[in-house]
Structure 1
Amino acid sequence: MHKIIVCDHIHQKGLDLLAQQDDIEMENLAHLSKDELLTHLKKADVIITRSSTNVDGKLLAAVGDLKAIIRAGVGVDNIDIDGCSRKGIVVMNVPTANTIAAVELTMTHILNAVRNLPGADTQLRLERKWKREDWYGTELKGKKLGIIGFGNIGSRVGIRAKAFEMEVIAYDPYIFASKATNLGITYTQNLEDILKCDIITIHTPKNEETKNIIAAKEIAQMKDGVILINCARGGLYNENDLYAALKSGKVRWAGIDVFSKEPSTDSQLLELENIYVTPHIGANTLESQEQIALQAAQAALEAARGAGFPNALNLPVKESELPKGTKAYLELSQKLGFFCAQANKGVITALNLSLEGEITQYADSLMAFALVGVLKSSLGEKINYINAQFIAKERGIEISTNTKENSTAYKNLITITLITDKESLSASGTVFEENIVRFTNINGFNVDIAPKGKMILFKNTDIPGVIGNVGNILAKHNINIADFRLGRNAHKEALALIIIDNQISEATIKELENIPACISIRNVTI
């Protein structure tokens, strides 16, 4: 059993997902004081935190063989990532669950800025004055919106701005121009083009490159009466320079959800009348809280089982050298290896990693992750990204990598071939837009499935009635089918990849094996 401890309150659906797993012991200790919480962490494999639990030296001293820490949210300011790395603990966050909430809050700030809705509301409701002449705003139609950072959130803001008939220009040196131009949005690699816009919104992480990306120098180049929005991270705008520009009128209005120091109840920005502020509520919707909890729970399950570490922040890879989206291929490589090792029983003799597309230049990193996936089942906590290759060589496993030009319809493709003393198994996968990881082929059978959960890999002679027999047996044993994907080949064989909700027993597997058309069956959990 793997033990997952929830340290802070998350949505009930995330707790339910953890509680439903047969191989997981979950403890929800969010109700405990932080000092009392520390006394329960020694046997945890994974912990889930939010902002109210500080992952500092005190907490790290209280844990035992902790594998991973999941931050149920985006920000990790409360986590000592270097300290975690020194102890071999992977730190993961949930960066996309609140995407829509943050996008819609950004649009709310933009609309408030051009129409000053809070001011009109205050005058009528609290002052009981009906003065329509005080509330002339401007329209979004025809205005130019500059977006700094065109990732999950920035791109969606651009789509919504286009619906308002705005002219949109995006600045993000880490994306392909086509990501913007395919949406009818102008792309630029020159920040000065953004500074000429009527409204500017920023959607980048906070790092050395983006801290104070907008300061006095940049503001001086802007239009008089520009509107500035920040629903991303505090400190992207220099707050002193923003204050001066708002006070002088250079910046007509600002919409701010995040501050350099939070909680922020004494910021000088709060003194101004031409700013609309919210207390970092970008993720505060019921829908996003549910998604945050579900994604955090799923990440905890994968980390506890050793299947992968989605959105890990301290992997042994130089992130500055990796373009956006590459992390998803590291996760895919490990999952492919983890899958193959479970589905191909026997003593491993060789592992081949085949790469197609732009990811070929990251072959070494992808191989490290593939090896961890392959060896995790047999070595457990002894294996990590640093020692994986050495242990593989000690075991006499022949490791090889080959790269080639794209020969498929996919922009990037990873194929792992695992050879044991009994058989050979190949599995391929790719990543679609928004980091959607998919397995695409297993031993020559085309499939399309998300690699997570409990799976049955059922290979059979392609004759009528097999699917019905499989379904009847699973139903008889009260095993619910969550997803069923079928592939066929030219040799009159079929391969079914079945996602199930319950752990399958050996007796049920034996019954499936007794179906006359059955060639092989494997039980895999990711």
Structure 2
Amino acid sequence: MTKPKVLISDKMDPNAARIFEERGCDVDVITGENAEELKARIGEYHGLAIRSSTTVTPEILDAATNLKVIGRAGIGVDNVDIPYASGKGVVVMNTPFGNSITTAEHAIAMTMALARMIPAANARTQNGEWPKKDFMGIEVTGKTLGLIGAGNIGGIVATRAQGLRMKVIAYDPFLTEDRAVELGIEKVDLDNLLSRADFVSLHTPLTDQTRNILSRERLENAKPGIRIVNCARGGLIDEAALKDCLESGQVAGAALDVFAEEPAKENPLFGAPNFICTPHLGASTTEAQVNVALQVAEQMADYLVNGGVTNALNMPSLSAEEAPKLKPYMALAERLGSLVGQLAHGNLTKISIEREGAAAQLNGKPITGAVLAGFMRRYSDTVNMVNAPYLAKERGLEVSEIRHERDGAFNTLIRVTVETESGPRSVAGTLFGSDKPRLVEIFGIGIEAELDGHMLYIVNDDKPGFIGRIGSLLGERGINIGTFNLGRRDAGGEAVLLLSLDDAPTAETIAEAEKVEGVKTVTALVF
């Protein structure tokens, strides 16, 4: 088996390369290349490990013909075109926890620096002055800290702020009441937070919903004398409005580690009163750089070698422990999706995936992804579990997942149903011996069959002599039959025949089969 090949294109801890090698990957460390050089090189690699210097554009992804995974050693992935990578079937991972403590501590440091005006006092003191009367600070004890975003980093900031005896309130649409209680913070809406907070610290990703979340209107209507810290992402604050509010005194101070445009060699905030800034240092500690480098190497190697998916931004997580257990279920799911995709006709707008028995107890997201990967091959020959959900969404396919607690005729069962112009069409399968996928039902007809290789699906009248006629036809055409699988609704009624063939049937053979007495439809399948 060929080893996966990984390129580390940005500077990171050298132990990352060691981890890749120890876990079965070949690795090259080539940093500092420009876009054209990376584009020329990337085609031979299965994995790309980056930090913030490498920008993964559509042009690079088009050239990355063997790429399976991109790993970002850090949280932000603004330098990766995730939708385009998803369309190419490339997993995009980040390391959201490796620098959490470091970033949270930087936010607290910036808060303290604002409260005591440390940078300005330091500069003037070192300039030979003794401006003691010019720097009357405030205590943070007893003050209210408002968090915009209370996820991993925001939660750490909350605990540190509470250690400083601050009261913490938070605006976060995804914060549950139970989690708020666990953190000991009060969940509020954004306007309430801005009207009460003495300090505001932002800890939210940059999305269409959060861009300029601190707009001019919100800044002007906030509590007078508020102080603002942003160690999250640039673009969360209207920088021109913040400058005006600093100059008017509406905002008493601001400390930014991130800017809308970086590197920020010029910015309207530079020179504003009571403004502190650092050059995106939130993750810049020795410990954090080691942690994110090791974490991204572990995650990427786990995916390339074992199929485990951790901290992926464009597909469901799948642990290395889960992967072997789910593998046969995913194989079954993909074949069922492929089968219904090849047999159902017309514009299909809805698909449902039902799980019962043992399958209902497993992580359902990878199973759904596998079904969609099989099904969407009717539209694309480059589909996989990563890009299938995106392709389905593009085509307006409504996907539903149903988990049944009931016991059925099989120990485990996966059923895939699509809505067609003629009504629902359903196929179902199970596992024999815990790891052998089997079809057990097709469009309401019970049948037992493996789905593998080249197959022929025939709907026919259940009449004597039919099997002999089909067998003779294929024999005359030199096509060997591997397996012969039969099912019928009622004796003498509609029946189905599913044949596995050693070779793909030609169009002429299919046309001849359609002329055989009793045949209704003939469809060539491939798995």
Query: Is this a same-fold pair by TM over 0.5?
Result: yes
Maintained 8 Å contact 2:38/2:60: no
Query: For residues 296 and 345 of structure 1, what CA distance do their matches in structure 2 show?
Result: 27
Partner of 2:466: none
SS at match of 2:43: coil
Query: For residues 56 and 143 of structure 1, what CA distance do their matches in structure 2 show?
Result: 45
SS at match of 1:41: helix
Rate the CA distance shift 1:416–1:37 in 2: closer, same or farther, 3 A. Answer: farther
Match status 1:331 vs 2:332: no
Maintained 8 Å contact 2:48/2:69: yes
Query: For residues 344 and 58 of structure 1, what CA distance do their matches in structure 2 show?
Result: 32
Matches within 5 A, 1:127-138: 127-138=127-138
Query: For residues 355 and 189 of structure 1, what CA distance do their matches in structure 2 show?
Result: 37
Partner of 1:14: 16
Partner of 1:195: 195
Query: For residues 367 and 53 of structure 1, what CA distance do their matches in structure 2 show?
Result: 33
Residue 101 of structure 1, CA deviation? 0.9
Query: For residues 243 and 31 of structure 1, what CA distance do their matches in structure 2 show?
Result: 36
- What's the CA shift string for 1:252-286, capped at 9, x where partnerless? 10010111011111101012131000011111011
Query: For residues 11 and 413 of structure 2, what CA distance do their matches in structure 1 show?
Result: 39
Rate the CA distance shift 1:334–1:287 in 2: closer, same or farther, 3 A. Answer: closer
Maintained 8 Å contact 2:227/2:251: yes
Query: For residues 372 and 129 of structure 1, what CA distance do their matches in structure 2 show?
Result: 69
Rate the CA distance shift 1:384–1:215 in 2: closer, same or farther, 3 A. Answer: closer
Query: For residues 279 and 59 of structure 2, what CA distance do their matches in structure 1 show?
Result: 29
Maintained 8 Å contact 1:91/1:314: yes
Matches within 5 A, 1:108-147: 108-124=109-125, 126-147=126-147
Partner of 1:230: 230
Rate the CA distance shift 1:176–1:416 in 2: closer, same or farther, 3 A. Answer: farther
- What's the CA shift string for 1:470-500, capped at 9, x where partnerless? xxxxxxxxxxxxxxxxxxxxxxxxxxxxxxx
Maintained 8 Å contact 2:314/2:386: no
Matches within 5 A, 1:223-262: 223-262=223-262
Maintained 8 Å contact 1:226/1:252: yes
Q: Which amino acid aligns with 1:7?
A: S
Maintained 8 Å contact 1:308/1:373: no
Partner of 1:354: 360
SS at match of 1:85: helix
Maintained 8 Å contact 2:90/2:386: no
Rate the CA distance shift 1:136–1:101 in 2: closer, same or farther, 3 A. Answer: same
SS at match of 2:121: helix
Query: For residues 279 and 421 of structure 1, what CA distance do their matches in structure 2 show?
Result: 59
Residue 424 of structure 1, CA deviation? 7.1
Partner of 1:70: 71
Q: Which amino acid aligns with 1:106?
A: A
Rate the CA distance shift 1:295–1:373 in 2: closer, same or farther, 3 A. Answer: farther
Partner of 2:41: 40
Q: Which amino acid aligns with 1:58?
A: E
Partner of 2:313: 313
Q: Which amino acid aligns with 1:313?
A: L
Maintained 8 Å contact 1:336/1:416: no
Q: Which amino acid aligns with 2:46?
A: D
Rate the CA distance shift 1:49–1:224 in 2: closer, same or farther, 3 A. Answer: same
Q: Which ranges of structure 2 fall in alignment gaps of 5 or more residues?
A: 337-354, 375-381, 390-400, 407-411, 415-428, 437-527
Query: For residues 27 and 166 of structure 1, what CA distance do their matches in structure 2 show?
Result: 48
Matches within 5 A, 1:299-310: 299-305=299-305, 307-310=307-310
Partner of 1:81: 82
Partner of 1:507: none
Partner of 2:219: 219
Query: For residues 331 and 307 of structure 2, what CA distance do their matches in structure 1 show?
Result: 17
Rate the CA distance shift 1:190–1:243 in 2: closer, same or farther, 3 A. Answer: closer
Q: Which amino acid aligns with 2:76?
A: G
Maintained 8 Å contact 2:306/2:323: no
Maintained 8 Å contact 2:70/2:90: yes
Query: For residues 148 and 355 of structure 1, what CA distance do their matches in structure 2 show?
Result: 36
Residue 68 of structure 1, CA deviation? 1.4
SS at match of 1:137: coil
SS at match of 1:282: coil
Query: For residues 199 and 158 of structure 1, what CA distance do their matches in structure 2 show?
Result: 12
SS at match of 1:8: coil
Q: Which amino acid aligns with 2:152?
A: N
Residue 334 of structure 1, CA deviation? 8.2
Rate the CA distance shift 1:333–1:355 in 2: closer, same or farther, 3 A. Answer: farther
Partner of 1:5: 7
Query: For residues 3 and 372 of structure 1, what CA distance do their matches in structure 2 show?
Result: 28
Rate the CA distance shift 1:90–1:35 in 2: closer, same or farther, 3 A. Answer: same
- What's the CA shift string for 1:414-436, capped at 9, x where partnerless? x99997544579xxxxxxxxxxx
Query: For residues 264 and 45 of structure 2, what CA distance do their matches in structure 1 show?
Result: 34
Residue 291 of structure 1, CA deviation? 0.9
Rate the CA distance shift 1:387–1:51 in 2: closer, same or farther, 3 A. Answer: closer
Maintained 8 Å contact 1:333/1:367: no
SS at match of 2:224: coil
Q: Which ranges of structure 1 fall in alignment gaps of 5 or more residues?
A: 316-329, 375-380, 389-399, 406-414, 426-526
Rate the CA distance shift 1:385–1:48 in 2: closer, same or farther, 3 A. Answer: closer
Matches within 5 A, 1:174-189: 174-189=174-189
Q: Which amino acid aligns with 1:47?
A: L
Residue 4 of structure 1, CA deviation? 1.1
Which structure would you say has the larger Rg?
A: 2
Maintained 8 Å contact 1:150/1:172: yes
Rate the CA distance shift 1:89–1:345 in 2: closer, same or farther, 3 A. Answer: closer
SS at match of 1:91: strand
Query: For residues 279 and 118 of structure 1, what CA distance do their matches in structure 2 show?
Result: 14
Moved more, 126-135 or 7-16: 126-135
Query: For residues 278 and 190 of structure 1, what CA distance do their matches in structure 2 show?
Result: 26
Partner of 2:288: 288
Maintained 8 Å contact 2:6/2:25: yes
Query: For residues 87 and 329 of structure 2, what CA distance do their matches in structure 1 show?
Result: 33
Moved more, 40-49 or 126-135: 126-135
Q: Which amino acid aligns with 1:154?
A: G
Matches within 5 A, 1:402-481: 402-403=403-404, 420-423=431-434
Maintained 8 Å contact 1:307/1:335: no
SS at match of 2:317: helix
Query: For residues 166 and 413 of structure 2, what CA distance do their matches in structure 1 show?
Result: 46
TM-score, structure 2 as length reference:
0.64
Rate the CA distance shift 1:13–1:69 in 2: closer, same or farther, 3 A. Answer: same
Rate the CA distance shift 1:268–1:340 in 2: closer, same or farther, 3 A. Answer: closer
- What's the CA shift string for 1:171-202, capped at 9, x where partnerless? 11112022122232112245323432111111
Rate the CA distance shift 1:308–1:314 in 2: closer, same or farther, 3 A. Answer: same
Rate the CA distance shift 1:404–1:137 in 2: closer, same or farther, 3 A. Answer: farther
Rate the CA distance shift 1:43–1:249 in 2: closer, same or farther, 3 A. Answer: same
- What's the CA shift string for 1:65-120, capped at 9, x where partnerless? 21111122222222222322232222222222110111000001100001011122
